[in-house]
Amino acid sequence: MDITDFKLLEMIRFKILLLLYILFIVGSCNRGGNDVRNSISLPDNVDTVQNALFLIIKYLDSLPDIPKEKGITTFYAIDGDYIHINDFPKRKLNNTLMIPGLTSKTSREFIKLVFFLKKNFITSASKSGFNYWYFDYRELSYSNYEDSRDIILIRNISDTVGLYVENKIIDQKKNLLLVAPKTREEVLKNYNEIKIKNKQN
C-alpha cells in the first residue's frame, strides 16, 4: 500500500466517523424532542396556564354554534400569522382583531389569551364528542395521528370517564392532563367493550 492509498483510506474512515457522529447527534435531538413532548413543561406557572384555559374555554363556548352538517366542532387554530376561529374566515392575528360573537373587550381578552397560550406551546383547540376541549401541545409540523399530544383541562377526576376511550394519559400537572392517542386497534376494542356493556345493561 503506497502513501496515496493510505491517505484515501484515512479519508474514507474520517468521512464514515463523521457521518456516524452526525447521525448520533440527530438521533439524540429527536429523542430529546419526544421527551419534552411527553411531559408538561411550560414557561409559565401551571396555575396561570390553567386559568387561561378556563377563560378561553368560556369564550369558545359562547361563540355561535357551527351547523352540525358542516362536520366540525368549535375550535381555533393558529396558522403562521393567521388565526382560524370556528366557521369564520381566517384572519391576521393581532391585538385589534374582532371576533364575531364577542364584544370588543372580550375579543381583546380572547386574543391576549391566544398569545399567552402560544407562548406556552398551545396553538389550537377543538371540542370532542365527549365534550372535552383538546389543546394541542408542542405541535410538530410533520405530526400524524399517533404523534399528536394534547392538554386537557379537567375540573375533577370524574371528568376523565370518557377520556380513556381514545386516549392514554402520559403526564399530569394539577388539573392539566397530557394525553396521547391510543392506537386505532385499542380504540376499536374500547368501543366494542362499551357496546357489549350497554347491551348487558
Q: Tell me the longest C-alpha to C-alpha distance in the chain.
A: 85
Q: Decide if 76 contacts 60 (C-beta within 8 A).
A: yes
Whole-model pTM above 0.95? no
- What the block records as the C-alpha cell of 164 is 380513556
Task: Report domain extents, the chain.
Answer: 44-200
- How confident is the prediction along the chain (201 residues), in pLDDT tens digits per residue? 555 555 555 555 655 544 444 544 444 444 345 578 999 999 999 999 999 999 999 999 888 777 666 556 678 999 889 999 887 889 999 999 999 889 999 999 999 999 999 999 999 998 876 778 999 999 887 666 678 899 999 887 666 767 777 889 999 999 999 999 888 888 778 777 777 777 876
